[in-house]
Amino acid sequence: MPTEGNRDAAREARRAQRVERHARRRQRHDHVDRDSRRLARREELLDAAVEVIRRDGPAVSMEVIAAEAGVTKPIVYRHFGDRSGLVAALAKRFTDELMGALQSSLERDAEPRDLLVGTIDAYLAFVEKEPNLYRFVVQHVDAGAEELSGFVRQVAKEVAVVLGERLREIGYDSGAAEPWAYGLVGMVHLAGDWWVDSGAMPRARLVEYLTTLVWDGLDRVENAGAG
Amino acid sequence: MPTEGNRDAAREARRAQRVERHARRRQRHDHVDRDSRRLARREELLDAAVEVIRRDGPAVSMEVIAAEAGVTKPIVYRHFGDRSGLVAALAKRFTDELMGALQSSLERDAEPRDLLVGTIDAYLAFVEKEPNLYRFVVQHVDAGAEELSGFVRQVAKEVAVVLGERLREIGYDSGAAEPWAYGLVGMVHLAGDWWVDSGAMPRARLVEYLTTLVWDGLDRVENAGAG
DNA sequence: TCTTGACTGTTACCGCTGGTAACGTTACTG
DNA sequence: CAGTAACGTTACCAGCGGTAACAGTCAAGA
């Protein structure tokens, strides 16, 4: 309920933030690249979005997100185009984080099974720690649009890449990479969805169950090589 | 404000009498049940919804759905409460269909692996045949609401039941039933989602890949019994 | 110094959606 | 006949995503 008083307050707050920004800029008239300035602003907007989603849940409106960042809607739209653009940007953030964890596991050259366990666990840890953010980033909206909307698709896409490499390495039918990648991510996603709602078991146990379900299938390929 | 207890009681008594009268009448005359009439209307509305979704895609508005059925919005709302009610009703329809197919496979006592293949194939056949309906019914909306919204959850729930029975039969840890059910359905769901967008391979091949991925895990349990 | 133009920001609006309140209309029952 | 439910309508609401048009600020070139 945006009463008149609230609106005035919000306006005043925005003004204060604007003034502060200007002051900072003048202080160090470093004149850094326009582009990097824009990039930084973008990150600030994303930070604000993260905060407000965490607080108010995934159904939060664009206007509220903008207000949290101390600006109004059109600014947000100039940066992200539309709502799904914002979602995609946020999704990219967390996808990068997640894939970073996966990559570091890969480079540590861990036991393959541990690698699987670690990846599933990292995904579920995010779900557990940031349920609101997770829900926001997972909601896929548009029907007609083909391309990568939504966190889940992005993750699956990247998993498909590393899985494809691995399969090609061992000489196995690499056509399996995509269906398996999407299948695996979908499995963890829905199971996690259920789990976070029901809280039926500790995370480690869920990870163990899911790993058991698919491990033999993956391991057989690993050992069989070109089969 | 007519809130006298007497009045309420009297009203309630009248209502009870009325109900009883209606019941007697229903028995005497053949005059079809009011309820079944309502039920029939509900089915008609669902039929209309199916048709328009098939034609116009999953983002279709409530107003258009109502128009297709030859009525206006409030009627639809009286039957289904809100949009997610409609989705749930539709989801139930197709869930029943799908589970019917599964059950008949179960009763034919097919080879366990064929049973898995058949179920996955039935799911993907629906996705392939009715992509718009599928998308409509899959979209989960509400964040806060706990309960069974969405096709996927319903299917997973039912799969959990039959899987739980099976696990208990063979004396295996039946706690795995739910995570596995949601995991399996999630796997098929997201892989199907990707597949229907990309059309990268014939359905049978996708079914084969997915089956391979999880079969060993399930089979091991089947053979191990209490392990 | 003034003008120009690019940027960031705002206000005020639009179309549409999900959802509801309030009011007619039909058809059956006492 | 009167009453009552169910069926149906019109007309509205708040809130959403999204956009057009305008305003202040700053740096650079004549």
Which residue from A58, A217, A220 is facing B143, i.e. has the nearest CB? A58
Q: Which residues touch strand C (CB under 7 A)?
A: A 11, 14, 18, 21, 34, 37-38, 41, 70-75, 78; B 21-22, 25, 29, 31, 61-63, 73-74, 77, 81-84
Report pLDDT for B80.
Answer: 95
**B123 to chain A: which residues are within 8 Å by CB?**
none
Residue type at A177?
Answer: A
Residue type at A92?
Answer: K
Which residue from B186, B197, B217 is facing A186, i.e. has the nearest CB? B186
Question: Reduced to 3 states, what is the DSSP secondary structure of residue B4?
Answer: coil
Which nucleotide is closest to B44, CA to C1'? Answer: D7
pLDDT digits (tens, 9 = 90+) for A45-55: 999 999 999 99
Answer yes or no: do B58 and A143 touch at CB < 8 A. Answer: yes
Query: Residue A75 above 60 pLDDT?
Result: yes
- Report the percent of chain A where pLDDT is more than 90: 66
What's the Å distance between residue A124 CA and nucleotide D14 C1'? 37
Which nucleotide is closest to B86, CA to C1'? Answer: C18
Average of pLDDT values for A175-181?
A: 97
Report pLDDT for A224.
Answer: 75
What's the Å distance between residue A37 CA and nucleotide C2 C1'? 28
Query: Residue A13 above 80 pLDDT?
Result: no
Is B186 near chain A, with CB under 8 Å? yes
pLDDT digits (tens, 9 = 90+) for B157-176: 999 999 999 999 999 999 99
Report pLDDT for B8.
Answer: 36
- Of A4-13, A104-113, A138-147, B208-217, which has the strongest mean pLDDT? B208-217
- Regarding predicted confidence, which is higher, B72 or A221? B72
Average of pLDDT values for A15-28?
A: 60
Report pLDDT for A43.
Answer: 94
Report pLDDT for B226.
Answer: 53
The pLDDT mean for chain A works out to: 86
Q: What stretches of chain B show up as alpha helix (H) in DSSP?
A: 5-28, 34-56, 62-68, 73-80, 83-107, 112-129, 131-138, 151-169, 177-198, 203-224
DSSP string, B92-156: HHHHHHHHHHHHHHHHTT--HHHHHHHHHHHHHHHHHH-HHHHHHHH----SS--S--SHHHHHH
- Report the percent of chain A where pLDDT is more than 70: 81
Portion 119-138 of B in contact with A at CB < 8 A? 135
Query: Residue B14 above 60 pLDDT?
Result: no
Query: Residue B7 above 50 pLDDT?
Result: no
Which nucleotide is closest to B75, CA to C1'? Answer: D8
pLDDT digits (tens, 9 = 90+) for A148-177: 568 999 999 999 999 999 999 999 999 999
Place of tokens 């959990």: B160
Supply the pTM of this predicted model.
0.86
The pLDDT mean for chain B works out to: 83
- Of A13-17, A147-151, B49-53, which has the strongest mean pLDDT? B49-53
Is B172 near chain A, with CB under 8 Å? no
Answer yes or no: do B156 and A220 touch at CB < 8 A. Answer: no
